[in-house]
Homo-oligomer: A and B are copies of this chain.
C-alpha cells in the first residue's frame, strides 16, 4: 500500500525535492494534498506532474480562480486551510513550510494522530516543548528532514539512546565563513545568498551566513533527540560532507556522509527504517573530494550561535522572540533595508529586552512571536 503524504510548502526547495523523491517511487508514495504560498505558476506546474485531491494556497482570490480552472480538486486557503490539510486522512505530513508559520500545522497534525516529517526547523525552535508534549500524548513520531538531524537520526539506528555521549552537528559556516567581522560590515544579500555547498531557499541561506541556522539546529536537536545542550557540539566542517555525528559512551563516533542533496534526508524520512534506491547525479566520491577540514567554531565571530545555546537553555518565550526577530531582520537584510551585522544586533537586542514568560499554549507562542516581530520591526523602520 502506498504511503499517503500531505506536503506543506510544495513550491519551495524542500517541497520540490520531496515531489522528485515521490516521482522516483510512484509505487511507494503518493501526495494526496499539498500547499503552496503565492507561487501559482509553480503550483500549476506541480499539478501537471502529480495528481492530488486537496490544495491550499495563501490568498482567497487565487483559490477562487484555481477552483474554476481545476474543478476536480478541492481548494482551501490561508492558515485555516493549512490546518484543514493537517487534519485530513493520510499517513505522513511533510512540513516544508518556512518560518513560524510551520508550527501550527505540525501541532494540529500530531493532535489528529499523524506522524510528521519535519523540514520546518522553526516548529521546534519556537515550540519544542509543546510539540514534545503532543508527541507523547498522541503517541506520534517526528522524522527530521534537515540534513544534520537526518544524519544524527541515521547514526542512532541500532543503538540505544542511553549510550549517546554527545551529538556533533557539523557547520559549513555559510557564505561568509572566511570573512572577518570587519569585512562583514558591508556584505550584500546577493553575496550572502551564494552558499558554498548547498542550494537552499533564500531565508535559510541568510540564516546560514549569520549561523542563526546552526543555532536553530542545536535547539532542534535538543528537542528531537531529548539531549541536554551540554551534550550538543557544533564542529566547523567546510565541505559539508559529514552531515553530522553521534559520539557514544565508548568513544565510538558514527557519522553520516553524503552528497549535498536534500533528497536523501527527505527520502529517509519517508522510507525509515527501510532504505530505497535514490537517483543522484553525483553521489559522494571521497577520493575525488580528497580533503575534509574541521575546526572548533568561533562564537565571538558568530555570536548568534552562542545566543541560541543561551536562549535554548533559558527557554520559555525567549526562543520564539529570537526566532521572530530573526525572521524580520533576515527579511529586512534581503530587501537591502539593514546591513548584515544589524541582523545579529536586532536579534540579540530582542532576546535581551524580552521579559521571560512561560509558554503554556499556542496563544503564548503567538504573543512571544508578535513581541519579537514588533521589537525588530521598530528598529528596522528606524533604518528605512
Tell me whether A303 is interfacial, beta carbon within 8 Å.
Answer: no
In the complex, what residues of B have CB within 8 A of residue A277's CB? 249-250
Distance, CA A163 to CA B253, complexed state (A) = 22
Tell me whether A158 is interfacial, beta carbon within 8 Å.
Answer: yes
Q: Is the CB of B291 within 8 A of A275?
A: no
Enumerate A324-352 residues with CB–CB distance to B below 8 Å. none
In the complex, what residues of B have CB within 8 A of residue A255's CB? 242, 254-257
In the complex, what residues of B have CB within 8 A of residue A258's CB? 251-253
A268 interface neighbour in B237, B252, B256, B287, Cβ under 8 Å: B252
Tell me whether A137 is interfacial, beta carbon within 8 Å.
Answer: no
In the complex, what residues of B have CB within 8 A of residue A278's CB? 249-251
Interface size class of A (residues with CB under 8 A): 35 or more
Q: Is the CB of B284 within 8 A of A295?
A: no
User: Apart from A157-B158, A242-B255, what 16 extra A-B contacts exist at CB < 8 Å?
Assistant: A154-B252, A156-B158, A160-B273, A235-B287, A248-B275, A249-B277, A250-B278, A251-B264, A251-B278, A252-B264, A254-B255, A255-B255, A286-B294, A287-B294, A291-B291, A291-B294
Binding site for B on A (CB under 8 A): 154-160, 163, 168, 235-237, 242, 245, 247-259, 261, 264, 267-268, 271, 273-278, 280, 283-284, 286-287, 289-296
Nearest first, the 7 A-B pairs at minimum CB distance are: A157-B158, A158-B158, A253-B257, A286-B294, A250-B278, A287-B296, A251-B283
